[in-house]
Amino acid sequence: MLPDLTLIIGGAASGKSNFAEGLVNVCGKSKIYLATAQAHDSEMTAKINRHQKSRGDGWHTVEAPLDLTHALDVVSASDVVLLDCATLWLSNHLLAETDLQAAQGSLLQSLTTCKAPVVVVTNEVGAGIVPENALARKFREAQGRLNQRLASHADLAVTVIAGLPLVLKGTLPT
C-alpha cells in the first residue's frame, strides 16, 4: 500500500517519472494521471507523447496545468493519483503571474484532504549554479520552497538519481 502522500524528486531525465509510475502500477487501484505539462512546441509535444506511450493503457489522464485542487478534490478512495509534475505546475503559475503562496497553499490543502493516495513528481533544481536572470532565480527559489513544503507533508520521500531510488523519508511499500 502506498502512503497518503509520496514525493518523488530528482533531476531532469533521472528516471523519477518511471519510478513513480512503477509505484502506482502495483497499487491495484484505478490510476489517475494529473498532467501539468502544456505542449507549447513540438519538442514538448514529443515528450508528452513519449510519456503517454511509456505509461501504457489503464490510465485516466486529467489535464491540470493550473487547477490541481479541483482534480484532487474529485478522486475517490478507490483511485491512486500520479501528479506529474509539480515543477511544471509551478512554472505555469509563475508565468501566469498568479499568487504562488495561495496556489501552493491550496495545493497542499488538497493533497492533505485527498481521498486517494497521491504520488507527486518534482524536480530538484537547486544543485546547479545561480541563474543569471531574475525570472530563473525566482523560479529556482520558489521550486526549492515548494519541494520543502511537499517533503514536510509527505509520508514517503524518494530521490531518484540515474534511475536508482534513494529513500529520504519513510519506507518503500513491498
Given 3-state DSSP classes, what are the helix, strand and coil percentages for the chain, each rounded to the nearest 5? 45, 25, 35
Of 40, 51, 93, 153, which residue is the catalytic one? 51
Residue 51 known to be catalytic: yes
Q: What is the rounded distance in angstroms from the CA atom of residue 3 to the CA atom of residue 117?
A: 6
Answer positive or negative: Cα dihedral of 132, 138, 139, 140. Answer: positive
Secondary structure (DSSP) of 37-103: ----SHHHHHHHHHHHHHH-SSEEEEE-SS-HHHHHHT--TTEEEEEE-HHHHHHHHHHHT--HHHH
d(CA 153, CA 83): 15
Residues classed as catalytic: 51
